[in-house]
Structure 1
Amino acid sequence: MKKARFYGTIKVLFSTVCFLLSLNAVAQEKPDKPGASAQELADKLANPVASLISVPFQNNLNYGIGPFNGSKYTVNFQPVIPFKISDNLNLITRYIIPIVDQRDITGENTHQFGLSDATITAFFAPKAKGIIYGIGPAFLVPIATDKVLGTEKFGIGPSVLLMHQGKGLSVGFIANQIWSVAGNDNRADVNQFYTQIFFSHSYKSGANLGINAEITQNWEGNTTAISLNPSIGAVSKLGSQVIQFSLSPLIPIVGPRESRPDWGLRVILSFVFPGK
């Protein structure tokens, strides 16, 4: 039964990627508005604090987790909404709302499904080219529908972005540190650092290649998790709707055995609203 479910999932993902790749083959060089090429849009999407509305659905599949060889499927609904504060300053808000379906994680023949805790980040980002930066607060919001899927803690801390971007090239990092400040006293405190170091290269067609490393340090539990994630993606269209999609294997490097998967796969579909 597990093998059938596994191969069924892979077939669906493979068919979806092939379909999206076929769309990109016929994509136009100017997918959003006059003067903005597919490569320019790909570069904007590589910038976490670009003044651009996007609605990504990040699908994460992980297998071989823990002593019961569990599996976990997480869909992160993570819209990015910018607000103009002045001619030279934007507020970029990023929301991550995870929907989790996991099996055999907490024990053999166990199953949990529902929302996990949300993370909301706000970056105050001056308009700039070349060296780009942003800083602001990050919030952990306990919206989990199952106590196994969440911390039952409200948390807050700083977030920062620093990157360099030129035409076709983006490199930098995004990071946050969150401490719990309220919530269920019977649950462990949250004291966690997260960073993503990224590099990507875009092409005139809107295609892009990249790699990122994700590092999570749980100071409270004294554990470190590191994964390395190469990716391939492209900007295209679904009718008149601009989209970006990408495919990435998730390669675990370091992590506690009870939560580290043997391997994983990530597929992201983003709906992009470039504006006028």
Structure 2
Amino acid sequence: MKNCNNISALLLLSLLGIQTAVAEEATKSSEDWLRSAQNPLAPVLSVPLTYTHHGGADNGDVSIGSIQPIIPVSLGEWNMINQLSLNFIGTPGVVTGISELPEPFPGSGVAGLADTNFTSLFTPVSSGNIYWGVGPTFVFPTDTLLSDTEDRRSRELGSGKFSVGPALVFVVQPGPWSIGLKSRQIWSVVGNDSRNDVSQLVVEPFANYNLDEGWYLTTNMDTVANWNSSSDNRWTVPVGGGVGKLFALDNYAVNTKLEGYYNAVKPDYAPDWSLNFTLQLMLPDLY
């Protein structure tokens, strides 16, 4: 009887050990998903869906819905992280200080497909906590015709120019933190002669602090400079942040976050504030 009791005790301890190991593995998996979601250079196939509402502009509010699939490609010791951004905009007319509308066009309001952005970042494969990537970024004038004259209301939804420039991303992930900087500069190279040239810098410092059970605090301040504008109407500098929650579901995850920002510095006809909601479906690592 004593031996049976000893065997039962050993079995119970084994089961408890297995359950503890499973729990630790699940926690570790959730943490890995969270670190990947907060690292723009992670080689994870994902589809972020973002809705942004800009409020308080003189001409009215602007709504932007974006589909931004991230497609990593393995190149041996390097990864190429590709992001396509399809933007659907509803705008009342001239609203400045928004990265998706670098040179807005006057109008009475329209909604539809805006310019399309494509960025490829080349980043070395690394198992550490420091990541960097550099590459080209392109803006395609999918909202308008590349002709000398424009007779469509959709011209209000973009710049009317094909633009290109460099992009840079830097990320560090010490402990519960994910901190980094995303930056891109574009210049127009060809397009409708009746539209203004584009020279726009977008700098996005971001920080995330991870809490328990997939919750985290976040800030991602989308700072914009339109260099062709006058010095007192050039910069848009937001301040703010939000909260996020990641749901790890077997071999994929869903990342959600809600953010709010106030434009501490803004040009004329720019919105006073913005509210963002992101839903990101993340699939297993490809490599």
How far residue 83 of structure 1 moved from its aligned partner, in angstroms, is: 0.4
Partners in 2 of 1:100 and 1:94 — Cα distance? 19
Superposition deviation, residue 36 in structure 1: 4.8
- Partner of 1:166: helix, strand, or coil? coil
Structure-2 residue corresponding to 1:251: 262
The alpha-carbon deviation at position 35 of structure 1 amounts to: 8.0
Residue in 1 aligned with 2:138?
Answer: 139
What's the counterpart of residue 114 of structure 2? 116
Aligned counterpart, 2:55: 63
Distance in 1 of aligned mates of 2:82 and 2:107: 39
Given that 1:196 and 1:212 are in contact with CA atoms closer than 8 Å, whether structure 2 keeps it comes out as yes
Summarize deviations over 1:209-248 as a string: whole Å, max 9, x none: 1222221111112311111230200111689862110000
Q: Secondary structure at the match of 2:173?
A: strand
- Superposed displacement of residue 155, structure 1: 0.8
State the shift of 1:250 in Å. 2.0
Large movers: runs of 4+ above 3 Å = 33-36, 103-110, 237-241
Q: 1:104 Cα deviation (Å)? A: 6.2
**Which stretches in structure 1 are left out of the alignment for 5+ residues?**
1-29
The structure in which a higher percent of residues are strand is: 1
Q: What secondary structure does 1:62 align onto?
A: strand
Q: Which moved more, 1:163-172 or 1:89-98?
A: 163-172
Rounded to whole Å, the distance in 1 between the matches of 2:106 and 2:71 is: 41
> What SS does the aligned partner of 2:172 have?
strand
Partner secondary structure for residue 250 of structure 1: strand
What does residue range 225-240 of structure 1 map to in structure 2 within 5 Å? 225-236=236-247
- With normalisation by structure 2, the TM-score equals 0.78
Q: Which has the larger radius of gyration?
A: 2
Confirm or deny: 8 A CA contact 2:79 2:124 kept in the other structure.
yes
Offset, 1:112: 0.8
Matched with 2:15 is none
CA distance 1:101–1:221, change in 2 (3 Å): same
**Map of 1:20 onto structure 2:** none
Q: What amino acid does structure 1 have at the position aligned with 2:49? A: F
Q: Provide the residue aligned with 2:81 in structure 1.
A: 92
Secondary structure of 1:117's partner? Answer: strand
CA distance, structure 1, for counterparts of residue 52 and residue 240 of structure 2: 12
Q: Is 1:126 aligned to 2:124, yes or no?
A: yes
Q: Which residue of 2 aligns with 1:196?
A: 204
Instruction: Return 5+ residue gaps in structure 2 as ranges.
Output: 1-21, 96-104, 145-153
CA pair 239-127 structure 1, distance change in 2 beyond 3 A = closer
| Structure 1 Cα separation of the partners of residues 250 and 263 of structure 2 | 37
Measured after TM superposition, the shift of residue 206 of structure 1 is 1.4
- Name the count of aligned residue pairs: 242
- Judged with a 3 Å threshold, the aligned counterparts in structure 2 of structure 1 residues 65 and 36 are, in CA distance, closer, same or farther, namely same
